[in-house]
Each structure stands twice: as C-alpha cells, then as structure tokens.
C-alpha cells in the first residue's frame, strides 16, 4: 500500500500526540495541494497576458525553467513557451492529471497542460513545477516543460493528414485570383527552387500576380497523392492540372507534379517550401 494512503487510513487508530501530528500532516498536505493548484491556475492565466506583477509576486528570485532542452530565468519564459503566438484560444487551457508531493517546505507539482490555437491546432505539454516556502509564502522555484505531440493515434494522424491536404488544396485551386488569400497560405520564410534560383515569398507572389494578368478563364484541379505529418511539419505530394486562355487567345492545358512542405506558424498551417516539376503541356 502507498505510504501516504496507509498513513491516512491508519490515522484514526493512532492516539495522543502522534494521532494529532499524523492527521495534521495529512490535512496540511491537502491544503497545500489546493493552494498550489490555485497558484498554477493563476500562472496559466498570467502566462496569456504576460502579467509581470504575478511573476514578481509568485516566483523565487532564483527561479529557472527548462524547456526544449534550454534553461532560462526570464520571468516570461513560461508564457512564451506555452503560447508561441498571439493567436491563442484563451478559453482552451486545461490542467489535467494533477498530482503533488509535499516534503517539508518543498512541494513538487506534476500535470499536463493542454491548449488550442485560434486556428484549432492542439498543443500539450508535460510540466513539473517545484515550489518552495519563503517568508511564509509559496514561491515557484523551478519548472521543466516538455512539449509533446498529440499525434498519438492513427485516427488523429489521419485527421491531421486530411486537414493539411485540404489546406494545400485550397491554396492551389481555391480563390487563386485573390493575392491576399494566396499570401496567407505562405509561411514568412517561404522559398521555392526554380531554374537554379531560390525564390522567396515576395518574388513568388509577384510572379503569380503577373501570371494572373496574362491569362483568362484559369481553371485548376487538385489530386493528392500522399501526405506525411509529424508534429508541426507536413509534406504533401500532389498533381495539379490546369487550363487557361493565354494572351494569344489559345487554350492551354497541362499538369504538373508538386510537393509542398508545410509548417505551423502561429498555430496555423503555412507552406514553407514548394517544388514543381516541369509541366506537361497537352
């Protein structure tokens, strides 16, 4: 039997001072658990608004955090790690699998923190917090935050595949006359290799805008061939078929195989790199 459970169930059988001491320890641990849980919920709220006052009042002066294999003592490190963007669903934060262990003036809290980005993407982290009492107040001394992938089931992986394929399809054959919509499809660091030169996002959009000015009745169809998703990165291979009327009034039809590498930026899928084969003209 777990020692803490044994102490709890046997407490009524003890007598005298030992009974009083044993029960008070258990009561103290329960009270500490509630207090630390309340402070953790406050911390999650503070992390969304970068509430420096909360950090100053509740963190030890020698506080450290380890996240993504790096340690830092900055007051907003945890906030930056858990948010990752300013496009969070602020109502989505949940603390799960909560557990604490208290020994003297130190309490260790273990939990999972889950949240969503505004675009619907999920995020989850395993967190270990170390709290210490200083001048009668609990202070957060150290944290270890490990971001984990939620792609833990075949059903979830298939769902993500469908989502990223749909995203690439909409970018390829959706409102292709809307440059702003196309710009939103591309990652800030987007690049495409073509004819021995690397094109960035600006050059790509300029080329597309120039193309749209020269053609009429543009029509494209999309056929996904394969997709692989791992955490915040995805690779989609597809065939694009197209038809348009050129400046000479001639209808042109063709197709090309393409591969897009996508990454999440601010919680949303964005194309960061593209590769297009030379098109086959019919």
- pLDDT for 28-65, tens place per residue? 788 999 999 999 999 988 877 777 888 889 999 999 98
pLDDT value of residue 26: 52
pLDDT at residue number 254: 87
Residue 194 is encoded by which pair of tokens? 């073509």
Strand-pairing partners, residue 133, are 138
Token digits of residue 98 = 């909560």
Please give the mean pLDDT across all residues of the chain.
78
Residue 101 has pLDDT above 90, yes or no: yes
The per-residue pLDDT for range 117-176, each reduced to its tens digit, is 666 667 788 999 999 999 999 999 999 988 775 544 566 678 889 999 999 999 887 655
Longest dimension (CA), the chain: 102
What's the rounded Cα separation, in Å, for the pair 212 and 140?
57
Whether the model clears a pTM of 0.85, i.e. scores above it, the answer is: no
Q: Does domain 154-281 have CATH number 3.40.50.2300?
A: no
86 or 107, higher pLDDT: 107
**Has residue 5 got a pLDDT over 60?**
no
Render pLDDT for 243-273 as a digit per residue (tens, 0 to 9). Answer: 888 888 888 888 889 999 999 887 789 999 9
Which is more confidently placed, 236 or 13?
A: 236
- Domain residue limits, the chain: 3-148, 154-281
The pLDDT of residue 120 is 64
Backbone Cα Rg of the chain: 27
Cβ-defined contacts of 121-130 (< 8 Å, 24+): 121/264, 121/267, 121/268, 122/150, 123/82, 123/84, 123/147, 123/150, 123/267, 124/148, 124/150, 125/81, 125/82, 129/36, 129/40, 130/106
Alpha helices in 11-76, H assignment, sequence order: 16-49, 52-58
Residue among 272, 231, 267 at smallest CA distance from 120: 267
Domains 3-148 and 154-281 share a fold: yes
Joined together, the tokens standing for residue 108 give: 């260790």
| Confidence at 86, pLDDT banded by 50, 70, 90 | very low
Question: CB of 64 within 8 A of CB of 33?
Answer: no
Question: Tell me, which fold does domain 3-148 have in CATH?
Answer: Nuclear Transport Factor 2; Chain: A, (3.10.450)
């Amino acid at each position: 039997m777990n020692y803490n459970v044994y102490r709890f169930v046997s407490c009524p059988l003890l007598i005298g001072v030992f009974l009083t001491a044993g029960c008070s320890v258990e009561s103290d641990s329960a009270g500490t658990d509630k207090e630390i849980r309340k402070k953790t919920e406050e911390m999650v709220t503070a992390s969304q608004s970068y509430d420096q006052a909360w950090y100053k009042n509740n963190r030890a002066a020698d506080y450290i955090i380890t996240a993504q294999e790096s340690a830092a003592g900055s007051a907003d490190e945890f906030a930056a790690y858990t948010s990752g963007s300013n496009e969070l669903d602020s109502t989505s934060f949940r603390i799960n699998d909560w557990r604490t262990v208290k020994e003297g003036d130190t309490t260790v809290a273990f939990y999972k923190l889950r949240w969503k980005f505004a675009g619907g993407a999920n995020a989850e982290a395993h967190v270990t917090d170390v709290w210490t009492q200083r001048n009668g107040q609990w202070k957060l001394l150290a944290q270890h935050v490990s971001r984990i992938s939620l792609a833990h089931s075949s059903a979830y992986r298939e769902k993500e595949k469908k989502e990223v394929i749909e995203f690439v399809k909409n970018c390829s054959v959706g409102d292709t006359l809307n440059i702003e919509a196309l710009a939103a499809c591309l990652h800030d660091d987007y690049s495409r290799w073509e004819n021995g030169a690397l094109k960035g996002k600006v050059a790509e959009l300029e080329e597309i805008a120039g193309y749209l000015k020269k053609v009429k009745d543009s029509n494209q169809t999309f056929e996904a061939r394969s997709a692989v998703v791992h955490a915040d990165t995805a690779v989609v291979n597809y065939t694009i078929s197209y038809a348009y009327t050129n400046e000479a009034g001639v209808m042109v039809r063709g197709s090309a195989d393409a591969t897009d590498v996508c990454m999440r930026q601010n919680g949303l899928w964005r194309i960061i790199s593209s590769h297009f084969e030379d098109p086959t003209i019919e």
